[in-house]
Structure 1
Amino acid sequence: MADTAVIERPAEADPRPAGRPSLLRGIDRRLPWVLRHGGWLGPLAVAVFAGLLRFWNLGYPHAFVFDETYYPKDAWSLLQQGYEGGWADNANTAILGNPQSIPLNSSWAFVAHPPLGKWVIAVGEAAFGLNPFGWRVMVALLGTLSVLMLARIGRRLFGSTLIGCTAALLMSVDGLQLVMSRVGLLDGVLMFFVLAAFGCLLIDRDKTRERLFADGVDADTVRLGLRPWRLAAGLLLGAACSVKWNGAQILAAFGLLTVLWDQAGRRRAGARRPMLSMLRHDAVPAFCSMVVVGAGVYLASWSGWFATSGGYDRHWADGHPGGILPGPLRSWWQYQTEMWHFNTTLTTPHTYQSNPWSWLVQGRPVSMYWQTVTAGQQGCGSSGGCTEQILALGTPLLWWTACFALAYLLWRWFFRRDWRSGAVLCAVAAIYLPWFQFQQRTIFSFYMVVLVPFLCLAVAQMLGAIVGPAGASVRRRAWGGGVAGALVLAIMGCFLYFLPLYTAQMIPMSDWQDHMWFTSWI
């Protein structure tokens, strides 16, 4: 398994073994399409498992969980008005108690994030109404699809369906990804778009190399023309920026990554000046596909604000004449500057805020929901009382293992020049490192749900190395497989132990205390 990490061929290449009997070929053609493609059967099975976890009892608790008090109402306002409007003081009680009488008014409201993530939530509300299931269902769907995508991405990245499915299985049992897939917040939507863009760039890399390595191609002068998968990555990264501004630094990092892949591809194809060839033929198209397209998607995500007249700052330019841009664009730009100021200067203390230094080890998880139940009430049979909690805690053993996996990838990238390790590390750096500049800002560890897929890829790659290369002895691979399998089972067991705290299941207070391994988790 480990040796697949240094193969330069496209991982999707899976030639039929020579000498396959003709009878088997005939039977193979008659099998259902999915069964004939093992690269889909495993990922689909893991995705179904993940979906069961994410959709089970999704409408509970029947309450606003953490920042659900903002985004589902913004989403409903977008559906009704095209912009985020104001709400009456009793809105939460009215929505949960009498959905037929929703206290929405037409006044504008300042919101700190772009609209697209709330439009995604609004799709579920349009289908199922303004209720907990309605505002969570789309996030749960994207969380489930992310597991499927990760299995396929891992297969393409490492040339191994087993490694891809292992990464997906690990993400399906990560507590943070589970929690953020079961609440109506924006970060799970952001994760989906970022992961999808990463997958598109991997496909673009393989397709580009197929063209560069074709017979008769001059790697110094060939123009690769339209690259639809990179264009798709630009659309998805623009969508990520349209959910939260965190997507901007990821767009920049992925844009740099794709042109470096272009340079490396031209070099391997025999280009005499690969850097110059890349700058001449690839850099400008990459900028247009990623940055220009991404900016267009971001602007389009505000179409509801432009098309209506009641949004925040919509008529700011009317009282501030001047400038060369049309009034709506100047008003929109003013709104963006106010959002920037808010998002970079927010220092209001919060009980569950934390420093990025503690995020990889899950030093301070976020309690998103808490309900105590007295003995004898609502089925609580414990004399000490019971509790229900939703704790945004990554499965501890998985995250602690990921710390070692990242160190392994750093070694492999630096000393073995392994591009696959470099790709995962690029995503990790783009998602994680920018948060260190906000040492005074109020920030939370659940932002790292965007990082979870790449941590799982790192762990899966390390597990592949533990199993050993294909040429290793049977004894070596047996021991390696046993160790890797035991670690996966231990991570799954750790997830099951904390599952009640991820899904607001009622447990005795004494059991809850046993789950609080560190005082910083309380």
Structure 2
Amino acid sequence: MPSVVLAPRLRRHLAWLTPLGVTLLAAALRFWNLAHPHAIVFDETYYVKEGWTQWVLGYPAKWPDDANERFAAGETDIFLDKPAFIVHPPLGKFFIGAGMALFGADSSFGWRVAVAVFGTATVLVLYFLARTVSGSTAVATAAAGMLAIDGLGIVMSRVALLDGILTFFVVLAVWFVALDRAGHASRLAAAVVWPDDGRPLMWGPVLWNRPWLLAAGAAAGAATGVKWSGVWTLAGLGLYVVVSDALTRRRLGIWLWPTDAAFRQGVVSFLLMVPAAAVVYVTTWTGWFLTDGGYNRQSRDTALASFVHNHLAMYGSASSITSAHSYASPAWQWPLLMRPTSMWAHSTENGVDGCAGGERGCLEILYSMPNPLLWYAAVAASVWLLARVLIHGEGRYAPVLVAIGSGWLPWLIYAERTVFQFYTIVVWPFMLIALAVAMRALATHPDPHRRRTGRRLVVVFAVVAVLLAVAWYPLWSAMQVPFWFYRLHNWLPGWV
């Protein structure tokens, strides 16, 4: 009898203890020594300073040429009275500026705290998304746990770039769509009214009461307010909602299901998602509208005309970024993990600052490198999951695949644009869901012998993944390591 009472209680405790534990682990790995290095690294040169003036002025301003060193030294008020031309919307920089306002603009912890908060929160939202689409606490724990200890997730939560904040809102939008999908089929079936005379049902009901679609549109609008690439998520999810609804109507026997889904329910879904996204996106520009000093703010007779003109200029600049960069990696290379990005590196001579690295000295590096075992396994698992959805009709995982496609495929179009491997942080959480689902398939195979073998493989895989995370963490957190230790991690020519 006690065991019967204990099991439900234990399940209830695990329902909140598991996501809490995974999130706390993610927070520990992201917030530990977050202020190091006290230097503006990689593209922080844009977002730290722009974030501060975004907060102070309501729009980004220009800075002197030597501003990075002076800003890090505490001269945070040396921005000029001229607006800066930007290629990304304000929301992400507003959050970065808010962290600086809270902890001090001269604090490198303040520069990065917002990104660390969003990176940690992404782990939690990923847990709930994975549980929604899989119905499994084990899959949710595995997916969120892998992101918690992975290097790409850790580093993109430790540098003040926009991509980690973008990822949070993308995962949030996909979760909301998954929540909508979870009950849509039953609600649609319950609302169908069949003809009494036996005639075929030509049209199905049109459902307006879909609050999760409204929330998904708002989240996608926020993602677009961080970086324009968030609009690809909105487009992909919108297409998914229409196709999913069409297939549901076909299963219900609605005669004109394609037209019904596209031109009746599809219009309603559009009206639920897109205006919400647009309102949120335009709201992110509040500082630009309420002040007169923003770039192009006075370029036309009205604020709206100036807004449109500024966006055309932003698009022209953003779409033509083709400058050479030693860490550039075109999108076709991303699955191969050929050129991860070093965000910052600092070498120290032997015997200086506690360095005992031998002849070559020591190195500190922030290396946005995913756990290589997880990465290659997740790429394979994503292809496997695509086959499962297409061949076996496991549509509950379709939002995961849509998110992967929306975050990767559009970059293939911009083949000449300068892009980086760390852009994959937007698709990485969804790839980890695919990997977690594949691991569960191995561990729960119907054949007893293959099930035992699969479980052993999963255990070995998990142990090796954790050991690799321990071995790579010094390079993900800018710890001082001997140069020979760093060289042990250069497995491929591009991994430098």
Deviates more, 1:451-460 or 1:491-500: 491-500
Query: Aligned match of 2:372 in 396, 409, 415?
Result: 396
Is it true that 1:225 corresponds to 2:208 in the alignment? Answer: yes
Which of these residues, 307, 310, 318, is aligned with residue 343 of structure 1? 318
1:365 and 2:340 aligned:
yes
Q: Could you tell me which amino acid in structure 1 is paired with residue 178 of structure 2?
A: L
Matches within 5 A, 1:293-308: 293-308=276-291
> Counterparts in 2 of 1:42-441, with a 5 A limit?
42-99=18-75, 102-130=77-105, 131-214=107-190, 220-317=203-300, 327-384=302-359, 385-441=361-417
> 1:345-402, CA deviations, whole angstroms, 9 ceiling, x for partnerless residues?
1111111111212211210011110101011111001222101011111111111111
Q: What is the alpha-carbon distance in structure 1 between the residues aligned to residue 140 and residue 74 of structure 2?
A: 46
1:115-174 alpha-carbon deviations (Å, 9 max, x no partner): 011112122112111121112111111111111111111111111110111111111122
- Structure 1 residue 276: Cα displacement: 3.2
Residue equivalent to 2:485: 511
Offset at 1:505? 0.6
Structure 1 residue 216 displacement after superposition: 7.0
User: What amino acid maps onto 2:472 in structure 1?
Assistant: F
Residues 487-520 of structure 1: per-residue CA shift (max 9 Å, x gap): 1222222222111111001011111111111221
Q: Letter of the aligned partner of 1:341 in structure 2? A: G
Provide the C-alpha distance between the structure 1 equivalents of 2:221 and 2:298, rounded to a whole number of angstroms: 26
TM (norm. structure 1) is 0.89
Q: Does 1:488 align with 2:462?
A: yes
Structure 1 vs Structure 2: percent identity of aligned residues?
A: 38
What's 1:498 paired with? 472
The alpha-carbon deviation at position 308 of structure 1 amounts to 0.4
Q: How large is the Cα RMSD of the aligned pairs?
A: 2.1
Moved more, 307-316 or 284-293: 284-293
Instruction: Measure, in 2, the Cα distance between the counterparts of 1:166 and 1:107.
Output: 49
Q: Using the TM superposition, give the Cα deviation of residue 83 of structure 1 relative to its aligned residue in structure 2, in angstroms.
A: 0.8
Q: Which deviations, in whole Å up to 9, do the C-alpha atoms of 1:465-505 show, x marking residues without a partner?
A: 11124xx2554433211111211222222222111111001
1:244-279 CA-partner distances (Å, limit 9, x unpaired): 111112211110111222223333344343323323
Which one-letter code corresponds to 1:374 in the other structure?
E
SS in 2 for 1:520: coil
Change over 3 Å in CA distance of 1:242–1:62 after alignment to 2: same
Q: CA 1:209/1:40 → structure 2, altered by over 3 Å: closer, same or farther?
A: farther
Per-residue Cα deviation, 1:427-464 (whole angstroms, up to 9, x for no partner): 11111011112222111111111011011011111111
TM-score (norm 2): 0.93
The residue type paired with residue 200 of structure 1 is F
Which residue of 2 is the match for residue 479 of structure 1?
453
Q: 2:419 aligns with which of 443, 448, 460?
A: 443
What is aligned with 2:198?
none
CA distance in 2 between counterparts of 1:453 and 1:138 reads 19
Counterpart CA distance in 1 for 2:275 and 2:57 is 29
CA contact (8 A) 1:372 1:387 kept: yes
Distance change (3 Å), C-alpha of 1:221 and 1:437: closer
Separation in structure 2 between the aligned mates of residue 93 and residue 280 of structure 1, nearest angstrom = 57
Q: 1:407 to 1:196 in 2, by over 3 A?
A: same
Q: Structure 1: where are the runs of 5+ without partners?
A: 1-20, 319-326
Q: Is the Cα–Cα contact under 8 Å of residues 163 and 461 in structure 1 kept in the other structure?
A: yes
AA aligned to 2:134 is F
What count of residue pairs does the alignment treat as equivalent? 487
Match of 1:170, SS? helix
- Contact in 1 for aligned 2:191/2:205 (Cα 8 Å): no
How far, CA to CA, are the matches of 2:180 and 2:153 in structure 1? 27
Q: In the aligned structure 1, how far is the partner of 2:41 from the partner of 2:436?
A: 32
Q: Which moved more, 1:271-280 or 1:410-419?
A: 271-280
The 1:226–1:106 alpha-carbon spacing in structure 2 relative to 1, beyond 3 Å, is farther
One-letter identity of the residue aligned with 1:444: F
Deviation at 1:98, TM superposition (A): 2.4
SS in 2 for 1:371: strand
Q: Deviations over 1:43-74 (max 9, x none)?
A: 22111111110111111111111111111111
